[in-house]
């Protein structure tokens, strides 16, 4: 099976799924979401594949959602935003809910929705030099999947999300619980494959049910309800459009995305 935005290969009982849009730091477009869902359908239906390793080609795991893609769609109104943001949330949680273990390998940048995606995977390996974070509040946007409080606890989640910190080092990410291991640059895939191969020899049903039990513990703490509450609030924010988001979109439409990002960064620096 061939894809435009991904590569999918099997190494023994491990499926390796790789974002393949290196020219735009593997930004997550609607096409990427659709192809990931097709790939995951194939992986989950294949009894010969036991574990999923998710990585990114080029200089980054992913810089997050494709802002050009969303700007071109000219989304407006609560109903349309509900459809889009629900699709985004389902895409992220696909890796949390997969019956097979999922391992993310982050390098370069792992930001915004990509950071949420890495958290939604069962394990995350970070290479030295990787930056994590969710900068959405810098331009009045929303956090699609409010997973971080369950991963780090409320104090760290508020610091990172309300501060829109997008320069969280791999080491800090490990210390606050965002990732499992930090390895030298270029060694992330090797570490992930070693862990995946160890899981792949386990009884598949036992692994599936154990993952289900762990996820069930978070469900009992209200994870699903919290995600739905966040989704409803995100729709409200996007549908009403904050002043900073409107300015960001107006600059992007007139002068391009780079100009809008420059405005965002200057605003944060007090310029």
Residues 95-147 have pLDDT tens digits of 999 999 999 999 999 999 999 999 999 999 999 999 999 999 887 788 999 99
Q: What pTM was estimated for this model as a whole?
A: 0.92
pLDDT higher than threshold 90 for residue 255: no
8 A C-beta contact, residue 119 and residue 106: no
Where do you find CATH 3.90.226.10 in the chain? 6-234
Q: Which of 80, 136, 159, 241 is catalytic?
A: 136
136 catalytic residue (yes or no): yes
Of the listed ranges 58-62, 155-159, 167-171, 250-254, the least confidently predicted one is 250-254
- Which CATH class name applies to 6-234? alpha beta
Residues 138-180 have pLDDT tens digits of 877 889 999 999 999 999 999 999 999 999 999 999 999 999 9
């Amino acid at each position: 099976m061939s894809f435009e935005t991904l590569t999918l290969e099997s190494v023994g009982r491990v499926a390796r799924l790789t974002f393949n849009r290196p020219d735009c730091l593997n930004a997550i477009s609607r096409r990427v979401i659709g192809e990931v869902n097709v790939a995951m359908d194939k992986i989950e239906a294949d009894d010969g594949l036991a574990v999923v390793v998710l990585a990114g080609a080029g200089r980054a795991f992913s810089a997050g959602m494709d802002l050009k893609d969303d700007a071109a769609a000219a989304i407006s109104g609560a109903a349309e935003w509900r459809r889009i943001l629900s699709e985004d949330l389902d895409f992220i949680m696909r890796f949390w809910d997969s019956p097979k273990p999922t391992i993310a390998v982050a390098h370069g940048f792992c930001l915004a929705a990509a950071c949420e995606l890495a958290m939604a995977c069962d394990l995350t390996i970070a290479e030295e030099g990787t930056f994590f974070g969710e900068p959405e509040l810098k331009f009045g946007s929303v956090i699609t999947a409010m997973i971080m409080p369950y991963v780090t606890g409320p104090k760290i989640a508020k610091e990172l999300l309300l501060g829109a910190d997008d320069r969280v080092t791999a080491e800090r990410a490990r210390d606050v619980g965002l990732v499992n291991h930090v390895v030298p640059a270029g060694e992330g895939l090797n570490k992930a494959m070693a862990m995946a191969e160890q899981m792949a020899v386990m009884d598949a049903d036992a692994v599936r049910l154990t993952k289900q039990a762990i996820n069930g513990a978070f469900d009992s703490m209200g994870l699903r309800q919290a995600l739905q509450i966040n989704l409803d609030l995100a729709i409200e924010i996007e549908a009403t459009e904050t002043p900073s988001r409107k300015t960001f979109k107006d600059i992007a439409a007139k002068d391009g995305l780079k100009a809008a990002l420059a405005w965002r960064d200057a605003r944060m620096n007090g310029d």
